[in-house]
Structure 1
Amino acid sequence: MHILMIECNPNGMAGIANALDLGHDVTLVSVDPDFYLAVSPLTEAAYAHPNCQVIKSEKAFSIEELTALAREVHAERPVHGVTTYSEYHTVHTAAVAEALGLPGMSVDGARNARHKHLTRLTLDGTGIRQPRFAHVSDMTKVEAAVREVGFPCVVKPSDGTASLHVLHLKDEDDLTAYLAELAEVVDYGRGVVRIPDILIEEFVPGELISVESCVLGKGEVVNLGLTDRPLSGFPHFIEMGATYFTGHPLQDELFEMTTKVLNELGVDFGFIHTEFLLGPDGPVLCEVNGRLIGGIVPSLMQISSGVDAYLEVIRQALGERPELPFPGETIAGGHWFGSPVAGTVESIGFDGLKDLPGFHSALAYKKPGVEVSRLSKSNFDWIGHIIFTGADRDEVNKRNEEALDAIDLRLKVEVAR
């Protein structure tokens, strides 16, 4: 079978590698294929595989150009499935699948999930608990929208991801600084152009938790499990850990809300990641991501369930019924870590972790000699992660937190004189 992958993400290279190992052909379309060589150790072998074709296209973020390219690929060698692990490309993937007559999410459903202002506007008045919000598509109107919602509030680009440019604003000074920062952002790199829409939302205090689901068809939502998402402190919202588990006291309500959210948005296919804030009045919808959850969580799913979610994404795109990764008796969780200061990596060592109870694995994302920023603004500031297992999420989180002190991170830091 021939799979067309529209971009990817660093961890998603495991899905490409596994598909190749199973004998599938994979064509990856990317604006910058070299990006994946720098961020995933699996990429070089995947690119060298005889069944892997890599197409570099500067127009990969243009749906019309991408669809034309996909038709050319399909004419040369029939494509049997189209998919992505990239948040930026979910609408593109849906459009290409539709154009080729292959399984995929409806384009409207993908767009409603991808663009946060469409999520809010589509669900407004449905009874689903959301924060008070204002939506603007003109930067000159952000200040008035912030005053309409009031401080404290959260501002975010409608098409962002990985908490990039998402900020907690407490006062006018924060607002002024944010507007100056956002005015400089015209794209997210690798050809991804930012749309002008901005959301301003009331700040909802509470734990961030997500529901992982698989939509097998229109109206057929299967909720799999929950992922907790501890965050860094304000003003930015950096995810610092994740545990994939079942059994939360609010699980039934969260599952019911997720099913209603996805049906109302028209999300009718694929693995979906839906985030909620556990506010004082109950769960409040944060956002919907129309793709498999990113980061380390697919690995946590596999540790707990024995099911490779990356591969099941591909199987579903090929028209097969996916095996579903429900949490098992063993619970897995991980913590990301970054640097307390900007500097150049000399070494990242994990020897102190290997004999700790529940240790599963650890990975450094940065090699010696690479410059790193201080962990301060977004998930892109991560420089590695650790994974532990346990009997429940409390034990897993405790083991991860205690293990952070055993990481041996050495940096070369320039001292101002």
Structure 2
Amino acid sequence: MHILMIECNPNGIAGIANALELGHDVTFVSADPDFYLGASPLAEAAFAHARCDVIKSAKVFSIDELERLAKEVHAAKPVHGVMTYSEYHTVHAASVARSLGLPGMSVDGALNARHKHRTRLTLQDTDVRQPRFVHVAEPTSGDAMEAAVREIGFPCVVKPSDGTASLHVLLLRDEEELAAYLAELASVADYGRGVTRIPDIVVEEFVEGELVSVEACVLKGGEIVNLGITDRNLSGFPYFIEMGLTYFRGHPLQDELFAMNEKVLEGLGIDFGFIHAEYILAADGPVLCEVNGRLTGGIVPQLMELSSGVNAYLEVIRQALGERPQLPIPGDLIASGHWFGSPVEGELVSIGFDRIKDAPGFVEALAYAKPGRQVSRLSKSNFDWLGHLIFTGKDRDEAAGRVQAALDDIEFTLSVQVAR
């Protein structure tokens, strides 16, 4: 079978490797293939594989251009499935799948998930609980943003409608922070790899509570299967940086979350694929945070496989090819992960894990940065991560406790310039 992959994410390169191992052909389209060579240890071998064709196109973010390119690829070698692991390209994958007559999410459903203002507006007259919000379509002058913030009140959360990885998501507490935020965002025209930013901003009330996500899969015919819950520990206020997570079943609010998730996906018209939806557990019940029309990212697919025995990256591919996917529902073994970063800016000298590897439940310790690299302080977004740890346990508490304890045993050396 021939798979057309539209961009990816660093961890998702494992999916390309999986597909090649199974004998599939992969055409990978990217604005910057070299990005993945520097971000994934699997990319070099995958891209060099005889059945992997890498197409570099600076116009891959243009849906019209991408559809034209996809039809050329399809004419040369029929495509059997279209997919992406990239949040930025979910609408692109849905559009190309539609243009080729292949399985995929409806384009409207993909748009409703991809753009946060569409999520809010589509669900605003339903019984799905959301934060109070204002959609600012033209924030360039600052007047519309200031009016929106006055309507919501401080503290409030501001986020680009098409962002991801908590980039440019900020808790605002006063007018000074609003002015600084607008000045910073004005200089952001794109997110890299040719991904242009739309101007829309969402201003929301700040809802306090634990953040969790419901991982789900919408099967052929629209059947929604809720797979499990991922608790998501945040750090770094006023920014929102994900630091730790555990994939499991048995949350006290699981039934309520699963029922709400079905209403959300049906309301948004999401009719196909693996879906990641986030909820804030406020004092009076769950509140919808956001929806992502693709497989959950980061290390969560790895946690899924450890607990369920099912490779979620591979199941995304199988579903795109028209097959019924196996579902990674958590089992008796629970997996937990935690990212780490640098407390200060400096040059990385070394990261060591020798004191961790013999600990009970240890699965993996991985550094993303090599010695000699300049690293920033963990402060603004998930892009500040320098590595992660993964542990397992018999339940949520044991797995999360083990990975938390191991953070203290990372051997971390930086060279820091001291101001005189």
What is the aligned partner in structure 1 of residue 100 from structure 2?
100
Alignment of 1:15-414 (within 5 A): 15-139=15-139, 140=141, 141-414=144-417
Shift of 1:415: 2.0
Q: Tell me, in whole angstroms, the C-alpha distance in 2 between the residues paired with 1:344 and 1:304.
A: 36
Secondary structure, in 3 states, of the residue corresponding to 1:209?
strand
TM-score between the two structures when normalised by the length of structure 2: 0.98
Secondary structure, in 3 states, of the residue corresponding to 1:134?
strand
Shift of 1:176: 1.2
Q: Tell me, in whole angstroms, the C-alpha distance in 1 between the residues paired with 2:24 and 2:348.
A: 38
Q: Tell me, in whole angstroms, the C-alpha distance in 1 between the residues paired with 2:273 and 2:304.
A: 16
The residue identity in structure 1 corresponding to 2:35 is F
Q: Do the aligned residues in 2 keep the contact of 1:218 with 1:267 (CA within 8 Å)?
A: no
Q: Tell me, in whole angstroms, the C-alpha distance in 1 between the residues paired with 2:415 and 2:384.
A: 17
Q: Do the aligned residues in 1 keep the contact of 2:165 with 2:382 (CA within 8 Å)?
A: yes
Shift of 1:182: 0.8
Q: Do the aligned residues in 1 keep the contact of 2:11 with 2:40 (CA within 8 Å)?
A: yes
Secondary structure, in 3 states, of the residue corresponding to 1:53?
strand
Q: Deviations over 1:303-343 (max 9, x none)?
A: 00000000000000000000000000000010000000111
Q: Tell me, in whole angstroms, the C-alpha distance in 2 between the residues paired with 1:7 and 1:161.
A: 15
Secondary structure, in 3 states, of the residue corresponding to 2:70?
helix
Q: Tell me, in whole angstroms, the C-alpha distance in 2 between the residues paired with 1:314 and 1:344.
A: 39
What is the aligned partner in structure 1 of residue 8 from structure 2?
8
Q: Tell me, in whole angstroms, the C-alpha distance in 2 between the residues paired with 1:83 and 1:242.
A: 26
Q: Tell me, in whole angstroms, the C-alpha distance in 2 between the residues paired with 1:155 and 1:93.
A: 27
Q: Do the aligned residues in 2 keep the contact of 1:334 with 1:388 (CA within 8 Å)?
A: yes
Secondary structure, in 3 states, of the residue corresponding to 1:225?
strand
The residue identity in structure 1 corresponding to 2:295 is L
Shift of 1:217: 2.9
Secondary structure, in 3 states, of the residue corresponding to 1:229?
strand
Q: Do the aligned residues in 2 keep the contact of 1:2 with 1:26 (CA within 8 Å)?
A: yes
- What is the count of residue pairs matched by the alignment? 417
Q: Tell me, in whole angstroms, the C-alpha distance in 1 between the residues paired with 2:349 and 2:320.
A: 42
Q: Tell me, in whole angstroms, the C-alpha distance in 2 between the residues paired with 1:233 and 1:74.
A: 46
Q: Do the aligned residues in 2 keep the contact of 1:155 with 1:166 (CA within 8 Å)?
A: yes
Shift of 1:245: 0.3
Q: Do the aligned residues in 1 keep the contact of 2:275 with 2:295 (CA within 8 Å)?
A: yes
Q: Tell me, in whole angstroms, the C-alpha distance in 1 between the residues paired with 2:55 and 2:413.
A: 38
Q: Which structure 1 residue ranges, 4+ long, deviate > 6 Å from structure 2? A: none
Q: Deviations over 1:155-184 (max 9, x none)?
A: 000000000000001111111111111111
Secondary structure, in 3 states, of the residue corresponding to 1:332?
strand
Once the two structures are aligned, what percentage of the paired residues are identical?
A: 74
Q: Tell me, in whole angstroms, the C-alpha distance in 2 between the residues paired with 1:301 and 1:73.
A: 33
Structure 1 gaps of 5+ residues are none
Secondary structure, in 3 states, of the residue corresponding to 1:353?
coil
Shift of 1:54: 0.3
Shift of 1:219: 3.3
Q: Tell me, in whole angstroms, the C-alpha distance in 2 between the residues paired with 1:217 and 1:50.
A: 32
The residue identity in structure 1 corresponding to 2:174 is D
The residue identity in structure 1 corresponding to 2:360 is P
Q: Tell me, in whole angstroms, the C-alpha distance in 1 between the residues paired with 2:399 and 2:154.
A: 36
Shift of 1:218: 4.4
Q: Tell me, in whole angstroms, the C-alpha distance in 1 between the residues paired with 2:180 and 2:395.
A: 42
Q: Do the aligned residues in 1 keep the contact of 2:236 with 2:380 (CA within 8 Å)?
A: no
Q: Tell me, in whole angstroms, the C-alpha distance in 2 between the residues paired with 1:254 and 1:200.
A: 24
Secondary structure, in 3 states, of the residue corresponding to 1:230?
strand
Shift of 1:233: 3.2
Q: Tell me, in whole angstroms, the C-alpha distance in 2 between the residues paired with 1:117 and 1:44.
A: 38
